[in-house]
Amino acid sequence: MITRAVSLVSLLLPMLIVAPTVSVAQDLDEVVRGLEAMYSTVRDLRADFTQVAQNKSLGQDVKAQGTVYLKRGGKMRWEYKSPSRQTIVSDGQTLWVHTPELNQVNKGSAPKALAGPAGSFLAGLGRVREEFNVRFLNPANKVDAAGRPLLDLTPKTPTPLLTRLVIAVDPKDSVVREAVIHDQFGNTVTMTFTKVAINPGLADGLFTFAPPKDAAVVPLEPTR
């Protein structure tokens, strides 16, 4: 549970469903320029999310939901509310994973855990072409049923956890409303974001964490 959650968080994260106009979405450069322009101005972000992780080998789906807070500088806070409570917090230097049902806190290096092309959602989407090879998912039908352009992103430096990323971009404001993350084993994680608030002015205190006094604190990665 801990490894899975941290892996998903380190991969980006992304967002909803608006039925928009059709005029946008026909030109790849236009969609990418809008996406990069939007996220280059984002200082912080709050959103509710739903997540479906599909394990290909086990043939099962695991659903989750919660709220995410992101801020430039590698700051983030993921509050999972179901199927079980878990909080993942980064102040840009240290990453904390609190799992109440285990009464355990995992602690690690945020830059190390979040390294890679999708490690910083806000920065990564502000420079999509630097990090990814970009094309429409289906050049013959460039939008989904809600009228959102679907971009197929291949990392220029793939990792085992991220070999492909498909995103749905709202043509009204260029905000990513949904993302499908693919790993090297064919597993996928689909994330949908609602109630997205851009630049709400999140306080830095939201991205600090103090372990409960009775919780066991263990390294996020085994020591050698």
pLDDT, average across residues 68-76: 92
CATH number for the domain that contains residue 127: 2.50.20.10
Instruction: Point out the least confidently predicted range of 58-62, 99-103, 186-190.
Output: 58-62
Provide the percentage of residues in the chain whose pLDDT is more than 90: 70
Q: Give the pLDDT of residue 25.
A: 43
User: Tell me, what amino acid is at 15?
Assistant: M
Task: Using the predicted structure, report yes or no on whether residue 158 has a pLDDT greater than 70.
Answer: yes
- Which residue range(s) make up the domain with 51? 2-202
Task: Using the predicted structure, report yes or no on whether residue 11 has a pLDDT greater than 90.
Answer: no
pLDDT, average across residues 152-156: 92
Q: Give the pLDDT of residue 55.
A: 92
Looking at the domain assignment, is residue 133 inside a domain?
yes
Q: Read off the pLDDT band of 207 (50, 70, 90).
A: very high
Looking at the domain assignment, is residue 207 inside a domain?
no
Structural domains counted in the chain: 1
Task: Using the predicted structure, report yes or no on whether residue 197 has a pLDDT greater than 50.
Answer: yes
Task: Using the predicted structure, report yes or no on whether residue 5 has a pLDDT greater than 50.
Answer: yes
Looking at the domain assignment, is residue 220 inside a domain?
no
Looking at the domain assignment, is residue 118 inside a domain?
yes
Task: Using the predicted structure, report yes or no on whether residue 17 has a pLDDT greater than 80.
Answer: no
Looking at the domain assignment, is residue 72 inside a domain?
yes
Q: Give the pLDDT of residue 22.
A: 37
Looking at the domain assignment, is residue 214 inside a domain?
no
pLDDT digits (tens, 9 = 90+) for 110-122: 888 776 555 566 7
Looking at the domain assignment, is residue 183 inside a domain?
yes
* Mean pLDDT of all residues belonging to the chain: 85
Looking at the domain assignment, is residue 24 inside a domain?
yes
pLDDT digits (tens, 9 = 90+) for 133-151: 999 999 999 999 999 999 9
